[in-house]
Amino acid sequence: MQKLAGKTALVTGGSRGIGAAIARELANEGANVTITYVNSKKSADELVTEIIDKGGKANAIQADNKNREDIKTVVEQLMEKEGQFDILINNAGIIHAGPIDQFSQEQYDDTMNINVRAVFVAIQAAAVHMADGGRIITIGSCLANRISSPGISLYGMSKSALIGLTKGAARDLGPRNITVNLVHPGPTDTDMNPADGEMADGLREIMAIKRYNRPDEIASMVSWLAGPGAGATTGAEFTIDSGLNV
């Protein structure tokens, strides 16, 4: 039996990489999945077609997580179309890397608006519309807890902020049995950070398990947190990084 049958899910930044793997997994478990994308309409449409061809339910909406109104509008459109909202996956993110004294104000604003403010706004919108017993899961980063190389101060700060937001939202929404959790991927084999990239060998050297994560491994954890077996799990962090932070 599909554990998410009858549930409606929203995955931000779901057209590729980890987000696409999450969308596939939730759809495989029976959820009606809506993904958002900014520019990659072709990838989003192909993913929706793939899910539907396999007997699942999926939809794609263009939305920019830099724009708080876009986020609110997506939630409202989902409610108008589906009539319910059960699972929110905050996946969209951005990274700027470099020495701390060389970041521009625009890079700071982009990072904080997409990685932090958009998550806050999405959780606020979910709190208004989400059914009691819902699930909110945010994709963070293992770099929230350990900076293993220079140049990651801005990104690490933005992902660390999600820890406090997750714990606070878990307290606020707990009386409605809405769980709020945080998944911290380590290096994961996607087009943004391929396992054969120029930094990959150096990262593998400091991992306990000498390989990159697969996107489906992140999706499996998210699927469990979205399902009935995780009803008492909230305000928690789950790190999937092949032991990078051990």
Query: CA dist 12 to 86, 133, 138, Å?
Result: 14, 20, 10
209-215-220 Cα angle (round to 5):
90
63 half-sphere exposure, CB direction, 13 A CA radius = 31
The first and second tokens of residue 201, run together, are: 């060998």
Active site residue 108: no
Encoding tokens for residue 105? 């104000």
Distance CA 236, CA 213 (A): 20
Say which of 37, 108, 155, 212 is annotated catalytic: 155
Which positions are catalytic?
Answer: 155
